[in-house]
Amino acid sequence: MNPVSAIYPGSFDPVTNGHMDLIERAAKLFKHLVVAVLHNTEKAPLFTLPERLEMLREVSSALPNVEVDSFEGLLTDYARRRQAKVLLRGIRAVSDYEYELQMAMMNRRLEPDLETVFLVPAVAYSFVSSRLVREIARLGGPVSGLVPPTVERRLRAKGAY
């Protein structure tokens, strides 16, 4: 297995334009980027794991150094298996910082050689989250411009939009 440079982990339920903005920025910075979707058996997501992977693969197909994968269990164990040295996370606002700092510190305790790198999305996406997208779609509001067109179509197909 080739060593990877950076891992961008998340739930991606669903991928938003904010995530895409970060993926595009990171693809320019790192030789190889793995977008790693959490397979969380405790939480019931709107989109199944195969659906989330398919959407991410579709929207990142033009980026040759981006790979989409899934993981279960501890992120630090997955990062070790993939020989990644960097964890990438996005920070939209100060409110994200506390949780992200806590995770970064905990991940450092679990794997001291793994560095968390934070990127900031374009200001146009600073308020976009998967949770709000799901809620707006569920209540029949418009999500165009917040998610890639394929995600919008799938939200509609699910009857969530």
Which residues are tagged catalytic?
A: 19, 43, 92, 130
Please enumerate in sequence order all residues whose Cβ is within 8 A of that of 43, keeping only pairs 6 or more positions apart, or say none: 11
Q: Which of residues 107-146 bind ligand PNS (CB under 6 A)?
A: 107
Residue span binding ligand PNS (CB under 6 A) among the ranges 9-17, 55-63, 113-121, 151-159 = 9-17
Q: Which residue is nearest to ligand PNS (CB)?
A: 10
What is the spatial distance between Cα 22 and Cα 19, in angstroms, rounded to a whole number? 5
If one asks whether residue 11 binds ligand PNS (CB under 6 A), the answer comes out as yes
Q: Rounded to the nearest whole angstrom, what is the least distance from the CB of residue 112 to ligand PNS in the complex?
A: 14
Q: Rounded to the nearest whole angstrom, what is the least distance from the CB of residue 85 to ligand PNS in the complex?
A: 16
Contact with ligand PNS (CB under 6 A): which of 59, 75, 114, 147? 75
- The tokens for 127 are 């308020």
Contact with ligand PNS (CB under 6 A): which of 5, 7, 8, 9? 9
Q: Are 32 and 67 in contact (CB under 8 A)?
A: yes
If one asks whether residue 38 binds ligand PNS (CB under 6 A), the answer comes out as yes
Three-state secondary-structure class, residue 118 = strand
Burial label for 108, CB within 10 Å (0-12, 13-18, 19+), is middle
Total of residues contacting ligand PNS (CB under 6 A): 9
DSSP letter string over 77-93?
HHHHHTT--EEEEE--S
The residue among 40 and 142 lying less far from ligand PNS, judged by its C-beta, is: 40
Q: Are 98 and 69 in contact (CB under 8 A)?
A: no
Three-state secondary-structure class, residue 29 = helix
Q: Which of residues 87-106 bind ligand PNS (CB under 6 A)?
A: 103, 106
The residues that touch ligand PNS, with contacts defined as CB under 6 A, are 9-11, 38, 74-75, 103, 106-107
